[in-house]
Structure 1
Amino acid sequence: MSAPAPASAAPLQTIVFGIGEELFALPIAVVREILDHTNAFRVPNAPDWLIGLCDVRGLSVPLVDFRTCLGLPTVPPTVATRVLVVEAVTAADRPLVIGLVVDRVLDVSTWAAEAIEAVPDTGTAWHSRYVVSVLRREGGFVGLLDLRGVLDGMEAVLTQSTAPGASVVAT
Structure 2
Amino acid sequence: MGEELKVIVFKLGEEEYGIEVDKVQTIERMMPITRVPKTYSFVKGVINLRGVVIPVIDLRGRFGLPETEYTDQTRIIIVAVNEMEVGFIVDSANDVMDLNSDVIDSPPDVVGGIKAKYLHGVARISEERLLVMLNLSEVLNRSEIIQLESLED
Gaps of 5+ in 1: 1-7, 90-94, 167-171
> TM-score when scaled to structure 1?
0.81
Quick one: distance in 1 between partners of 2:22 and 2:149? 22
1:156 equivalent to 2:146? Answer: yes
Structure 1 residue identity aligned to 2:30 = H
**Corresponding residue to 1:136 among 114, 117, 124:** 124
Match of 1:64 in 2: 57
1:22-61 aligned within 5 A: 22-61=15-54
Matched, 1:84 2:66: no
State which drifts further: 130-139 or 74-83.
Answer: 130-139
Sequence identity percentage: 27
Q: CA deviation at 1:123?
A: 9.7
**Contact preservation (8 Å) 1:119, 1:127:** no
Alpha carbons 1:82, 1:102 under 8 Å: kept: yes
Residue number in structure 2 paired with 1:105: 93
For residues 146 and 26 of structure 2, the distance between their equivalents in structure 1, rounded to whole angstroms, comes to 23
Structure 1: how far apart are the matches of 2:88 and 2:69? 15
Q: Distance in 1 between matches of 2:64 and 2:42?
A: 10
- Once residues 72 and 117 of structure 2 are traced to their aligned partners in structure 1, the CA distance between those partners, rounded to angstroms, is 30
The answer to whether the 8 Å contact 2:17/2:133 transfers is yes
CA–CA distance in 2 between the matches of 1:132 and 1:126? Answer: 12
Rounded Cα–Cα distance in structure 2 between residues aligned with 1:88 and 1:128: 19
- Number of residues paired by the alignment? 151
2:53 matches 1:73: no
SS of alignment partner, residue 154 of structure 1: helix
Query: Any runs of at least 4 consecutive aligned residues in structure 1 with deviations exceeding 6 A, and if so which?
Result: none
Map Cα deviations across residues 36-64 of structure 1 (whole Å, 9 max, x no partner). 01120111222211101101111100110
Structure 2 CA distance, aligned partners of 1:48 and 1:83? 17
The TM-score with structure 2 as length reference comes to 0.90
Q: Deviations over 1:59-111 (max 9, x none)?
A: 1001101000110122121000000000011xxxxx11010000001300111
Contact 1:131 1:146 in 2 (8 A): yes
Structure having the higher strand fraction is 2
CA change 1:98–1:123 in 2 (3 A) is closer
